[in-house]
Structure 1
Amino acid sequence: MSTPKLYAGVKLRETRTRLGLTQKAFAEKLGVSLPYLNQMENNHRPVSAGVVLALAQEFGFDVTELSTGDAERVVSDMREALADPVFGANTPPLADLRLAASNAPALARAFLDLHRAYRQTHERLASLDEALGREDAALRPSPWEEVRDFFHYCDNYIDAVDRAAEHFACPDGSPRDPMRAAAEALSKHGIELSFSDNAWLRNYDEAGKTLTLSTNAPSSTQRFQALHQVALLTHDDLLEATLDLARFQSDDARAVAKIGLANYFAGAALLPYRAFLAAAHETRHDLEQLADRFGASIEQVAHRLSTLQRPGAKGIPFFFVRVDQAGTITKRHSATRLQFARFGGACPLWNVYAAFETPGRFLRQLAETPDGVRYLSLAREVSKPSGSFKAPVRRYAIGLGCEVRHAGALVYADGLDLSGRFEPIGISCRICERPDCHQRSVPPLERPLRIDPDRRGQLPYEIGP
């Protein structure tokens, strides 16, 4: 099998510019002619093995940086962006996208930034739900919203924290027992791990050097809470550096985000990336098998599946959501084109709300959003035991889904007619343009209404074009 040719003109130019060398001086150090270097920098010729060797010997250059990984990721991101219905059916061929990513990466990234800004603007429509009817509504986001946006626009994947958690969980390449690993890490800091029948899931006594976990919590929660404290105590510098890069507008937002990052570390250590991704493929994303294998809860597994967005090793893009019995969304993450309303509940036609009626069972739904994208959606009621007769049980429903083109990789697609009927769902009534939905609660924000006092259909108004 022949070795593929390596075109890395952009990387060569960036390296030469960073070193402050002219083309002539750079060519001399690499042992090539000036015209040959010019052709390589413009991708008219591939980078030769001799040039790769000279880069390593002369400049200590990491030759893996010449790989096409960055370009391929940009191509993948552009393909995903161009799948947006706003571009219609005239998608550029793959060869054109690769040329743009290789020869004009700044232009390609500018296009991606523009599309991301468009998506953000579209999502901002949903934020009006919270402001409507409130005289004191402010444009500045609350700390909670600011942190939620931070994770959302990172695709709910924080690379440095994820890799640190994976290294902690798998120092030798294989996952070790999470609780034992947490206890050892705490012990190195002189902290004793204990258990008690108390109201706190986790209580760290800094003065007494003791971390106490509740015996009433499930074992999966105990592991998670222990790993959360490990993140705060042993990886504080990493968490603080990540927060510095985020540049939150308030101290409250930064404090909330630090808890979120520690939670992220805990989830990534409990379900380390490569081991979990391999197990997900092996089990065809069977949540119950994955939960049993890693000693995690169904909710933890579903949440983790929505974070598998590591460059070069991405999992299936999932959305994940958790709702309470009042219909309020309490967690939302999406690596898909489906974006949830920022405030309030989701579409009542979605199966996540029906999950409360069938506790302990997975519900499957084939759904289609107004933009024509089709999804396979799972929903399940989850209860969080209190450990005491007098303490209330917390009940939620979780939803997990992906575009139907990935359905073959999910055990939950078995037996479903993927060519059959798809339930029409939306995001939020205020930004859903379906004119004939029988479950609509309020009119769409940007559509005119026709009101006829002499006629009444399913709604007391008709939605205009």
Structure 2
Amino acid sequence: MTVQKLYAGAKLREIRNRLGLTQKDFAAKLGVSLPYLNQMENNNRPVSTTVVLSLAMEFGVDVTELSTGDAERLVSDMREALADPVFADTAPPMADLRLTASNAPGLARAFLELHRRYRQTHERLASLDEALGRADAAAPSSPWDEVRDFFHYCDNYIDAVDRAAERFGTSADAARDVADAAIAALKAHGIDVETADMPGLRQFDPARRVLTLSSRMAPETRRFQLLLQVALVQQNALLEATLDLARFQSDTARDIAKIGLANYFAGAALMPYTRFLEAAQDTRHDLELLGSRFGASIEQVAHRLSTMQRPGAKGIPFFFVRVDQAGTITKRHSATRLQFARFGGACPLWNVHRAFETPGHFLRQLAETPDGVRYISLARDVSKPGGSYGAPVRRYAISLGCEVRHADMLVYADTLDTTKASAFEPIGISCRICERKNCHQRSVPPLERQLTIDADTRGVLPYEVG
């Protein structure tokens, strides 16, 4: 078996900068020469076993950091961006993308940001051209996408916020009742909590110092909203410091991200990291048991499982996604090699779309992506009633999954034959970048492939993919 060499220059530089060391001092502590360290940081040499051991022993570094950085995400995102027809004649080979992701991740992110803004401008201009008969207006940037990418490249794990939430969630008061602990924390800041029949979930009046919660919401939603308000009041300094480090490009993006961090705190306080990780392993990741134990909804539990990436105490790397009835992705995160499409919907062969057909039931699927990686995927609907007759119902479906090598740690894998190749359904990311030639559910041709059109022959598709 060939042992894959570890090239992790960007991550090595990141660790050195985090420790505040010069190359000379870092090399001395690692027991290597300065030129050798320089070559490793520039990916001219692989990271040696001696260096890996020194990082762990000398600095206490979680060595999995070296192989679980942003490279796979960056390669996937660049590949999708380069599938745009504008790059039809200039798209670089995959080897170049991997080199860029490993050696120049900053450049890769800058390219992705540039392409994102190009797409926004292009789509905005097309819309204006249709509506106004002209195409010369500039498109605003998308703060929402900027925030989504922030969490995406943080591995959906924010250490300082997570640990602060864990301290709150494991306090004596929270151990008895987390909702009462949240109310007490708000009371300490001069905030009273009231309940009213209202269409929304939460309304805070800063002048009256009153938080009003809807009487229609489920108990788990009420707990979450109380903890979210605790984050905004009690942890404001921490949230602001985290936002300062993120350096968002607009106040709107910063405001959206602050709500995202408050939501993160609420989920992490409701399900404190260490206790939740132990419970997840004990129950073999049974979402219903975990929801009952922590007073959380199935969606909250699934989302929390996708954040369990604390260095030195990582859980299973999960992907998590939520889609609406049109197939549009409304939440997405992946700590696995599976990366979701940044634009458009998900693969129609994925079981998450069938969850709407079987409300209240879990669907299991063994799936294989075009790169040959196999996954186990769990899907379920998470419809949210409006709380009264005639109130609109929000309907979503969620999917949680991981690579099949972790199947023995999941209760949902029981009775599934993960050794049988034919048990795995072929799925993709999205049609426009999927390489499968004979998919019966393909909606559009792949952008990176040549098509053959034969008027005298009709197969599954009206064209053949080269």
TM range (shorter): 0.7 to 0.9
CA deviations on 1:351-407 (whole Å, 9 max, x unpaired) are 000000001100000000001100000000112121100211211110000000001
Larger-gyration structure (1/2): 1
1:271 aligns with 2:277: no
For residue 460 of structure 1, what is the aligned residue in structure 2? Answer: 462
Measured in 1, the distance between the counterparts of 2:201 and 2:173 equals 30
Decide whether aligned partners of structure 1 residues 40 and 356 sit closer, same or farther in structure 2, where only a CA change above 3 A counts: closer
1:135 aligns with 2:125: yes
Decide whether aligned partners of structure 1 residues 135 and 435 sit closer, same or farther in structure 2, where only a CA change above 3 A counts: farther
Decide whether aligned partners of structure 1 residues 171 and 66 sit closer, same or farther in structure 2, where only a CA change above 3 A counts: farther
For residue 250 of structure 2, what is the aligned residue in structure 1? Answer: 250
CA deviations on 1:101-136 (whole Å, 9 max, x unpaired) are xxxxxxxx9985657976997999999987876634
For residue 300 of structure 1, what is the aligned residue in structure 2? Answer: 300
CA deviations on 1:163-190 (whole Å, 9 max, x unpaired) are 1111111135984422011101001011
For residue 425 of structure 2, what is the aligned residue in structure 1? Answer: 423
Alignment: residue pair count: 395
SS in 1 for 2:68: helix
SS in 2 for 1:402: strand
CA shift, 1:419, in A, is 1.4
CA shift, 1:425, in A, is 0.2
SS in 1 for 2:365: strand
Instruction: Give the AA of the match of 1:384.
Output: K
For residue 443 of structure 2, what is the aligned residue in structure 1? Answer: 441
Measured in 1, the distance between the counterparts of 2:328 and 2:175 equals 36
- TM-score, normalising length from structure 1? 0.77
For residue 372 of structure 1, what is the aligned residue in structure 2? Answer: 372
1:73 aligns with 2:64: yes
For residue 406 of structure 2, what is the aligned residue in structure 1? Answer: 406
For residue 237 of structure 1, what is the aligned residue in structure 2? Answer: 237
CA shift, 1:283, in A, is 0.1
> Does structure 1 conserve the Cα–Cα contact (< 8 Å) formed by 2:120 and 2:139?
no
> Does structure 2 conserve the Cα–Cα contact (< 8 Å) formed by 1:152 and 1:333?
yes
> Does structure 1 conserve the Cα–Cα contact (< 8 Å) formed by 2:156 and 2:306?
yes
For residue 206 of structure 1, what is the aligned residue in structure 2? Answer: 206
For residue 397 of structure 2, what is the aligned residue in structure 1? Answer: 397
1:223-234 aligned at under 5 Å gives the runs 223-234=223-234
Measured in 2, the distance between the counterparts of 1:263 and 1:248 equals 18
> Does structure 1 conserve the Cα–Cα contact (< 8 Å) formed by 2:117 and 2:141?
no
Measured in 1, the distance between the counterparts of 2:278 and 2:403 equals 20
> Does structure 2 conserve the Cα–Cα contact (< 8 Å) formed by 1:370 and 1:425?
yes
SS in 2 for 1:459: coil
For residue 163 of structure 1, what is the aligned residue in structure 2? Answer: 163
Decide whether aligned partners of structure 1 residues 456 and 130 sit closer, same or farther in structure 2, where only a CA change above 3 A counts: farther
CA shift, 1:79, in A, is 12
1:28-39 aligned at under 5 Å gives the runs none
> Does structure 2 conserve the Cα–Cα contact (< 8 Å) formed by 1:126 and 1:428?
no
- TM-score, normalising length from structure 2? 0.76
* Unpaired stretches in structure 2, ≥5 consecutive residues: 1-12, 34-54, 77-98, 128-137
For residue 94 of structure 1, what is the aligned residue in structure 2? Answer: none
SS in 2 for 1:212: strand
> Does structure 1 conserve the Cα–Cα contact (< 8 Å) formed by 2:29 and 2:58?
no
SS in 2 for 1:394: coil
For residue 451 of structure 1, what is the aligned residue in structure 2? Answer: 453
Measured in 2, the distance between the counterparts of 1:160 and 1:184 equals 23
> Does structure 2 conserve the Cα–Cα contact (< 8 Å) formed by 1:81 and 1:115?
no
Decide whether aligned partners of structure 1 residues 375 and 453 sit closer, same or farther in structure 2, where only a CA change above 3 A counts: same
CA shift, 1:76, in A, is 4.5
For residue 432 of structure 1, what is the aligned residue in structure 2? Answer: 434
> Does structure 1 conserve the Cα–Cα contact (< 8 Å) formed by 2:174 and 2:180?
no
> Does structure 2 conserve the Cα–Cα contact (< 8 Å) formed by 1:127 and 1:343?
no
Instruction: Give the AA of the match of 1:341.
Output: A
Measured in 2, the distance between the counterparts of 1:123 and 1:338 equals 21
- Alignment identity in percent? 63
Instruction: Give the AA of the match of 1:440.
Output: R
SS in 2 for 1:195: strand
Decide whether aligned partners of structure 1 residues 128 and 357 sit closer, same or farther in structure 2, where only a CA change above 3 A counts: farther
SS in 2 for 1:74: helix
Measured in 1, the distance between the counterparts of 2:404 and 2:299 equals 22
Decide whether aligned partners of structure 1 residues 115 and 317 sit closer, same or farther in structure 2, where only a CA change above 3 A counts: farther
* Structure 1 consecutive aligned stretches of length 4 or more whose deviation exceeds 4 Å: 13-19, 38-41, 64-68, 78-82, 109-134, 136-141
CA deviations on 1:282-318 (whole Å, 9 max, x unpaired) are 0000000000000000000000000000010000000
CA shift, 1:73, in A, is 3.3
Measured in 2, the distance between the counterparts of 1:248 and 1:232 equals 19
Comparing 67-76 and 276-285, the one that deviates more? 67-76
For residue 42 of structure 1, what is the aligned residue in structure 2? Answer: 31
Decide whether aligned partners of structure 1 residues 78 and 357 sit closer, same or farther in structure 2, where only a CA change above 3 A counts: closer
For residue 342 of structure 1, what is the aligned residue in structure 2? Answer: 342
SS in 2 for 1:224: helix
Decide whether aligned partners of structure 1 residues 154 and 176 sit closer, same or farther in structure 2, where only a CA change above 3 A counts: farther
Measured in 2, the distance between the counterparts of 1:132 and 1:448 equals 24
For residue 48 of structure 2, what is the aligned residue in structure 1? Answer: none
SS in 1 for 2:147: helix
* Unpaired stretches in structure 1, ≥5 consecutive residues: 1-9, 24-37, 45-63, 86-108
Decide whether aligned partners of structure 1 residues 122 and 372 sit closer, same or farther in structure 2, where only a CA change above 3 A counts: farther
> Does structure 1 conserve the Cα–Cα contact (< 8 Å) formed by 2:302 and 2:400?
yes
CA shift, 1:153, in A, is 0.4
1:357-368 aligned at under 5 Å gives the runs 357-368=357-368
Instruction: Give the AA of the match of 1:42.
Output: G
In angstroms, what is the RMSD of aligned CA positions? 3.5
